Copies of this chain bind each other. A is one copy, B any other.
Amino acid sequence: MKTKQKMVSEFRRAEIVDAARSVFARKGFAGGIVDEIANEAGIAKGTVYLYFRSKKEIYRAVLDRDMEFSKKGTLERMDAAGNLKDKIRAFTLARLENAEAKKEFFRIMDAEFGSVSFTRSQYRDWLREPVLRLASAIEDAARRGEIRPVPSEKIAWLVADMTRGTIRRRLLGRSDTPPGEDAELLVGFTWAALAAE
């Protein structure tokens, strides 16, 4: 039965990816051991290689899946928001909460985004779409006179940077406030900067 096979197989893959995320988050790419991933997934090492060609491929699968999930969630929440301020809040909050819920994944992103060479080009642009959408919203609001005119794309990236930096600080344990609070501060700050004139 083809369908059932496929389902079982997808399930196994997902289990392995979950285990891998946890191991890589703890040890990084080079430090993460396939045997450990297998253990954590409750299977033998050999089995891992039935589902993935290599350690690299497992790593890529982890990042792929989680980035896709994070990007999708962010875009959806932004679409649901009405005005600019809400969109900014949606963007920031989605990312902060995502980071909170998936600390492990974000620790990987933080840890090896820039250093494991084969992931760089793959992941350079995953934020671009949400940011560009934010930029459009800023531009529209400026055109309608709700905020002062600003270089919208640059400002959008700045908001993204601020969010990223906040996530990082939270991951390092230098913030013990709930994500909503950090987000609110960020949104208020940004709004003050945009509304001013």
Contacts and interface: CB of A to CB of B under 8 A. Distances in A.
Interface of A: 25-31, 107-108, 110-116, 120, 124, 151, 154-155, 157-158, 160-166, 168-169, 171-175, 185-186, 189-190, 192-196
Nearest to A106: B114
Copies in the complex: 2
B124 A172 contact: yes
Contact of A190 (B110, B164, B193, B194): B193
Contact of A161 (B30, B31, B165): B165
A164 B155 contact: no
A172 B155 CA distance: 18
19 contacts: A25-B115, A26-B115, A28-B112, A28-B115, A107-B114, A110-B113, A110-B115, A111-B111, A111-B113, A112-B115, A113-B172, A114-B172, A160-B165, A161-B161, A161-B168, A161-B169, A164-B169, A192-B193, A196-B196
Q: Which 4 A-B pairs have CB atoms at the shortest separation, nearest pair first?
A: A161-B165, A30-B30, A111-B115, A193-B193
A183 to B, nearest CB: 11
Contact of A115 (B107, B158, B190): B107
A41 to B, nearest CB: 21
A121 to B, nearest CB: 10
Contacts of A115: 25-28, 107-108, 110-112
A120 B172 contact: yes
A186 B157 CA distance: 11
A161 B195 CA distance: 21
Contacts of A31: 29-30
